[in-house]
């Protein structure tokens, strides 16, 4: 049995056979789960993993709620099922339990499909614990201001986030952050640590790059080991103060357009994993998203070519939109890297 | 997919009907009075302006459409005809999007 901690929560993993759970346990550290020796009296989530060649079988009452990129999700009452065709992840979110029956062929599936199988299952189990996923990159300025760059795959999140990290900003993730409503506001938590960047926009040869391979959207990506490339810049959590809804435009110059709160909430919903929405947790998630919008400045970012040549253009745009007071802060005593 | 809820002319609902929100719809409201509705079955979401959200709130409270219209007249100082027209068009659109249950 293995134990992990994750943003104040605990995860217990039971596996039958050493190799059976390896696909999962190899992944967990890259999703911000840390191995723990301390025994949790009642773990937040319990997973059991076993080898099973019996084929996928779900109750007849379960109905399909999504099918994307080789992974299918089915819902039956309070239970949820994930399958890639040969293996089954049976989730009981309200009980904090997941049972994975893996076919031998599972280990030969593409790594990104294996990743999605585990990651989507974990995200579903986190919902009753008040932790909700958001398709966004999370970065933090030198002065501690959290920014979330929200958008679909291909909207430039990873490239912009990487550019800002290269300027010394902290990072949570380039693709998925978790949101948790606290008494004093919404916090964003790190999830996937590695960045997946487009090969043609990867700046310079100073990055420890993995092999280029297609992601689930069939775009070629290189995996960047961020802890090796930018040690000390990983940040487990932050309080977001700016939301940017990013879109690449074929223009020379980038633009920031203010968004009203309802518009921003509406856009957030589409990037909040609608396939995992459920009756039991949606009210709380909607409240968390509303609070997130209320505690942030919200903009549509029309990302032009200038932003990818110089990511710090973003600071100029934010200064123009919000004034020097917030974005020209020298109080940290550090040299302001964004001044002209 | 989400989309704004746009008022349309003409509706099949009447003021003597009482409508209820669909149980699979959750909502949230901003201080401005605007709000967002989410239908959990279809995973679709809608934004409502101030008037639309007032009407939605009345439906949640179990008011008749006539009572909701009366509240609009009081709050926004509009005449009866305009308030009733607003209620009927918004409720018609909400019904069309399956955000309301069958009238009693």
Lowest mean pLDDT among A233-242, B75-84, B95-104: B95-104
Q: Judge whether A32 lies within some domain.
A: yes
Residues A122 and A230 occupy one common structural domain:
no
- Shortest CA distance from A269: residue in chain B: B45
Residue to test with chain A: of B28, B31, B52, B56, most A Cβ within 10 A: B28
Please provide the DSSP assignment of A196-245 as one string.
EE-GGG--SS-S-B---EE-TTS-EEEEE-HHHHSTT-B-SEE-EEEEEE
Residues A213 and A124 occupy one common structural domain:
no
The total number of residues shown for chain A amounts to 340
Q: How much is the pLDDT for B60?
A: 95
Residues A119 and A164 occupy one common structural domain:
no
Please report where in the chains the tokens 């074929």 appear, as a residue.
Answer: A250
What CATH number does residue A139 fall under?
3.40.50
Q: Please report how the helices A279-294 and A261-270 are oriented relative to each other, as an axis angle in degrees rounded to 10.
A: 140
Residues A112 and A159 occupy one common structural domain:
no
pLDDT band at A338 (very low <50, low <70, confident <90, very high): very low
Of A109, A129, A149, the last residue of a domain is A129
Sign of the C-alpha dihedral, residues A290, A292, A297, A299? negative
H-state helical runs in chain A: 22-25, 111-126, 157-166, 226-229, 261-270, 279-294, 305-309, 313-322, 324-327
Q: Kindly report the pTM of this predicted structure.
A: 0.88
Q: Judge whether A340 lies within some domain.
A: no
Residues A114 and A183 occupy one common structural domain:
no
A152 touches chain B (CB under 8 A): no
Number of domains in chain A: 2
Read off the pLDDT of residues A52-89 as tens digits, 9 standing for 90 and up: 777 778 888 999 999 988 999 999 999 999 999 999 99
Q: Judge whether A77 lies within some domain.
A: yes
**Residues 246 to 265 of A: which have CB under 8 A from any B CB?**
260-263, 265
- Shortest CA distance from A289: residue in chain B: B28
Residues A185 and A83 occupy one common structural domain:
no
Nearest-CB residue to A266 (from B2, B26, B32): B2
Of A129, A158, A184, the last residue of a domain is A129
Angle, CA A286 vertex, CA A31 and CA A70 arms, to 5°: 45
Distance CA B73, CA B9 (A): 20
Residues A151 and A76 occupy one common structural domain:
no
Structure tokens at B88: 């009927």
- Smallest Cα distance from B93 to chain A, Å: 18
Q: How much is the pLDDT for B12?
A: 64
Residues A192 and A270 occupy one common structural domain:
yes
Examine the pLDDT at A39 and tell me if it is beyond 70. yes
pLDDT band at A217 (very low <50, low <70, confident <90, very high): low
Q: How much is the pLDDT for B10?
A: 46
Q: How much is the pLDDT for A196?
A: 83
Q: Would you say the ipTM is above 0.85?
A: no
Are the C-beta atoms of residues A170 and A184 closer than 8 Å to each other? Answer: no
Q: Judge whether A178 lies within some domain.
A: yes
pLDDT band at A336 (very low <50, low <70, confident <90, very high): very low
Q: Which residues of A touch B40 (CB under 8 A)?
A: 277-279, 282
Q: Which residues of B touch A286 (CB under 8 A)?
A: 26-28, 36, 38
Nearest-CB residue to B47 (from A262, A287, A294): A262
Nearest to B25 by CA among B102, B85, B99: B99
Residue to test with chain B: of A259, A268, A274, most B Cβ within 10 A: A274
Are the C-beta atoms of residues A161 and A172 closer than 8 Å to each other? Answer: no
Taking residues A99-115, report their average pLDDT.
88
- Smallest Cα distance from B71 to chain A, Å: 24
Examine the pLDDT at A328 and tell me if it is beyond 80. no
Taking residues A140-167, report their average pLDDT.
91
Examine the pLDDT at A21 and tell me if it is beyond 90. no
Distance CA A127, CA A145 (A): 26
Of A93, A113, A129, the last residue of a domain is A129
Which neighbouring-strand residues pair with A55? none
Q: Judge whether A332 lies within some domain.
A: no
Nearest-CB residue to B30 (from A261, A278, A282): A261
Q: How much is the pLDDT for A22?
A: 78
Q: How much is the pLDDT for A325?
A: 64
Q: How much is the pLDDT for A335?
A: 40
Are the C-beta atoms of residues A151 and A301 closer than 8 Å to each other? Answer: no
Q: How much is the pLDDT for A206?
A: 63
Taking residues A271-294, report their average pLDDT.
94
**Residues 264 to 303 of A: which have CB under 8 A from any B CB?**
265-266, 269-270, 274-275, 277-279, 282-283, 286-287, 289-290, 294
Q: Cβ of A269 and B28 within 8 Å?
A: no
- Smallest Cα distance from B50 to chain A, Å: 11
- Smallest Cα distance from A20 to chain B, Å: 35
Distance spanning both ends of chain B, measured CA to CA: 29
Nearest-CB residue to B28 (from A263, A279, A290): A290
Read off the pLDDT of residues B34-70 as tens digits, 9 standing for 90 and up: 999 999 988 889 999 999 999 999 999 999 999 999 9
Q: Cβ of B28 and A278 within 8 Å?
A: no
Structure tokens at A86: 């040969």
Taking residues A260-279, report their average pLDDT.
93
Q: Which residues of B touch A262 (CB under 8 A)?
A: 30, 32, 34-36, 47
- Domain of residue A63 covers 2-129
pLDDT band at A330 (very low <50, low <70, confident <90, very high): very low
Neighbours of B29 (CB within 10 A): 18
- Shortest CA distance from B49: residue in chain A: A262
Return phi, psi of residue A156, to 5°: 95, 10
Distance CA A183, CA A187 (A): 10
Q: How much is the pLDDT for A123?
A: 97
Residues A54 and A172 occupy one common structural domain:
no
Q: How much is the pLDDT for B4?
A: 46
Residues A147 and A82 occupy one common structural domain:
no
Residues A98 and A176 occupy one common structural domain:
no
- The fold of the B15-96 domain, in CATH, is Outer Surface Protein A; domain 3 (3.90.930)
Residues A110 and A141 occupy one common structural domain:
no
Q: Which residues of B touch A274 (CB under 8 A)?
A: 43
Examine the pLDDT at A105 and tell me if it is beyond 50. yes
């Amino acid at each position: 049995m293995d134990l992990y901690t994750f943003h104040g929560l605990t995860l217990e993993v039971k596996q039958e056979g050493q190799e059976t759970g390896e696909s999962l346990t190899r992944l967990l550290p890259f999703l911000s789960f840390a191995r723990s020796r301390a025994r949790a009296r009642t773990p937040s989530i319990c997973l059991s993993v076993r080898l099973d060649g019996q084929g996928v079988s779900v109750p007849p009452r379960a109905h399909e709620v999504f099918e994307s990129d080789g992974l299918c999700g089915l819902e039956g009452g309070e239970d949820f099922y994930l399958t890639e065709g040969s293996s089954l992840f049976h989730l009981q979110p309200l009980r904090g339990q997941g049972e994975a029956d893996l076919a031998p062929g599972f280990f030969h599936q593409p790594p990104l499909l294996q990743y999605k199988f585990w990651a989507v299952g974990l995200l579903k189990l986190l919902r009753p614990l008040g932790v909700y996923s958001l398709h966004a990159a999370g970065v933090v300025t030198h002065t501690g201001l959290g920014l979330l760059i929200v958008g679909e795959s291909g909207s430039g999140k990873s490239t912009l986030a990487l550019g800002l990290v290269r300027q010394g900003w902290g990072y949570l993730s380039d693709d998925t952050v978790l949101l948790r409503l606290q008494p004093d506001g919404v916090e964003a938590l790190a999830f996937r640590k590695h960045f997946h960047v487009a090969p043609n926009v990867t700046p310079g040869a100073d990055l420890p790059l993995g092999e280029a391979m297609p992601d689930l959207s069939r775009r070629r990506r290189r995996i960047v080991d961020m802890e090796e490339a930018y040690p000390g810049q990983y940040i487990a959590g932050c309080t977001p103060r700016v939301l940017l809804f990013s879109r690449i435009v074929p223009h020379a110059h980038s633009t920031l357009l203010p968004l009203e709160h309802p518009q921003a909430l509406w856009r957030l919903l589409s990037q909040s994993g609608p396939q995992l929405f459920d009756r039991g947790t949606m009210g709380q998630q909607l409240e968390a998203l509303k609070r997130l919008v209320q505690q942030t400045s919200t903009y549509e970012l029309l990302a032009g070519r200038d932003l990818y040549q110089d990511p710090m253009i973003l600071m100029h745009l934010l200064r123009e939109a919000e004034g020097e007071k917030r974005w020209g802060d020298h109080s940290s005593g550090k040299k302001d890297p964004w001044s002209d | 997919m989400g989309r704004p809820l746009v008022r349309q002319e003409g509706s099949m609902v009447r003021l003597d009907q009482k409508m209820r929100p669909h149980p699979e719809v959750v909502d949230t409201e901003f201080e401005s009075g605007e709000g967002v509705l989410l239908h959990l079955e279809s995973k679709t979401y809608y934004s409502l302006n101030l008037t639309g959200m007032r009407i939605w709130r009345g439906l949640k409270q179990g008011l008749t459409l006539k009572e909701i219209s009366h509240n609009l007249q009081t709050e926004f100082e509009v005449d009866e005809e305009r308030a009733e027209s607003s209620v009927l068009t918004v409720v018609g659109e909400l019904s069309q999007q399956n955000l309301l249950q069958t009238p009693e």
